[in-house]
Amino acid sequence: MSKRVAILISGGGTNMAALSDGMVKRNVARPVLVLSNERDARGLERAARRNIPHSVVCHGDYRDRASFEAAVLAELDAARPDIICLAGFMRILSPDFIGRYQGRVLNIHPSLLPRHKGLDTHARALEVGDAEHGCTVHLVTERLDDGPVLGQARIPVRPEDTPESLAARVREQERGLYPAVLDQFARGDRRPVFRTHSDCRVC
């Protein structure tokens, strides 16, 4: 039976859209909920256009992280996901939250982890003169931007790159990598997916 997937977003939702479109095409998993912690996240419109149930749990409406997470968990528990994909979800989740869905929460991060955890990854890759950059899909553990790697896509850094140009090329990679990793994960195959520049049809 196809796996139920919940996707957590905070912004544009391009990864969510790629994940959802990939699921429709491959038919191994299906999106059952898109949840945003931001009311005006563009991803909510993208979810609506795809007829995916979507909801908002805005962190600003709650007095602390525990009550915000309890509200998110209530939505998730009602949707009964087998897998949760964090797709540009910009809130740190507590160990208690992660524990509830241990081993079933995936995240995409715009760097070649373990390099450049946290924010501003493209600028930091340029600052230190990295020859390669990219994105990583990993299982979420209690530590930020950590956990077993399920997939990575690499691109070369060009001499003329700016944080913006690098971000744009990494995004292209994200849209291919995350759906491929989710498909494999939903089939129960935990072998990491590695993509290099030579696999890329865009850059």
What positions carry a catalytic annotation? Answer: 109
Q: How far apart are CB 16 and ligand GAR at their closest, in Å?
A: 6
Q: Whose CB is nearest to ligand GAR?
A: 88
- The phi and psi torsions of 166 (rounded to 5 degrees) equal -65, -45
- Residue 15 vs 184, nearer CB to ligand GAR: 15
Q: How far apart are CB 129 and ligand GAR at their closest, in Å?
A: 21
Contact footprint for ligand GAR (CB under 6 A): 9, 11-15, 43, 87-88, 108-110, 135, 171, 174
Per-residue CA distances from 138 to 112, 131, 149, 200 (Å): 11, 22, 4, 20
Q: How far apart are CB 135 and ligand GAR at their closest, in Å?
A: 6
- Residue 11 vs 81, nearer CB to ligand GAR: 11
Q: How far apart are the first and last CA of the chain?
A: 36
